[in-house]
Amino acid sequence: MKRVVAIYPGTFDPPTNGHLDLIQRGARIFDELIVAVLRNSEKTPLFTVEERQEMLRECTGQWHNVRVESFEGLLVDYARSLGAQAVLRGIRAVSDYEYELQMAWMNRKLDPSLETIFMMPAGAYSYLSSRLVREIAALGGALVGMVPASVESRLRARLGVAGQFSK
Ligand code: PNS
């Protein structure tokens, strides 16, 4: 039988419970799911690619068909190098749809054999984003239910130190 390998690409700065919800759903559907952190020299992230991979590995160890990697360059090239047939992306609300559709069409243009599969996270995560999590953490707000405890303590450590320096 054919094995279906999918890539779940993203920035994951930091990983949220919404990302983990999608990983769990993807792990049920695909034979192998590769969570791939983009190495993007243009953005200045809060966490390094290695830290983001560590956080994702800490939170996905229970799913044996999930692997955490990083990539640079075009997603379609990375997918080809892994023999992956599908890209998994999450859609939380209609507002995600336009950007996601544009990327999916572009990836299809670049490699018509690669399918993009959209999945919805649980409704409780439909408002959650890494950007808002970073903002709430920086302003000292509660992150209950938004990120795993290990990610929360890394956020507090990172932003706590930054806060002291900025005073
Ligand atoms: O979590 P994000 O930031 O929404 O993820 C965006 C990501 C990593 C999926 C996208 O930027 C990407 O695939 N970048 C790799 C470069 C590439 O292939 N660009 C063309 C995509 S149409």
The whole-number mean pLDDT for each consecutive block of 10 residues of the chain, a chain of 167 residues, reads 94 98 98 96 90 98 98 98 98 94 98 98 96 95 95 93 38
Nearest-angstrom CA–CA distance, 109 and 114: 10
pLDDT for 23: 98
Listed in sequence order, the residues at least 6 apart from 55 whose beta carbon sits closer than 8 Å to its beta carbon are: 12, 14, 15, 47, 148, 150, 151, 154
What residues act catalytically? Answer: 19, 43, 92, 130
pLDDT for 162: 45
Q: In 3D, which of 7, 9, 68 has the Cα closest to residue 38?
A: 9
What tokens were used for 38? 């983009």
Mutation pick for ligand 1 pocket among 12, 16, 23, 38 (CB with most ligand atoms within 8 Å): 38
pLDDT for 42: 78
- Is 107 a pocket residue for ligand 1 (Cβ < 6 Å)? yes
- Is 129 a pocket residue for ligand 1 (Cβ < 6 Å)? no
Residue 36 neighbours by CB distance under 10 Å: 24
Backbone angles phi, psi at 115, to 5 degrees: -95, 140
- Is 75 a pocket residue for ligand 1 (Cβ < 6 Å)? yes
Nearest-angstrom CA–CA distance, 4 and 116: 13
Alpha helices, DSSP H only, in 39-138?
Answer: 49-60, 75-82, 94-110, 130-138
Helix, strand, coil shares of the chain, percent, nearest 5, are 50, 15, 35
pTM beyond 0.75, yes or no: yes
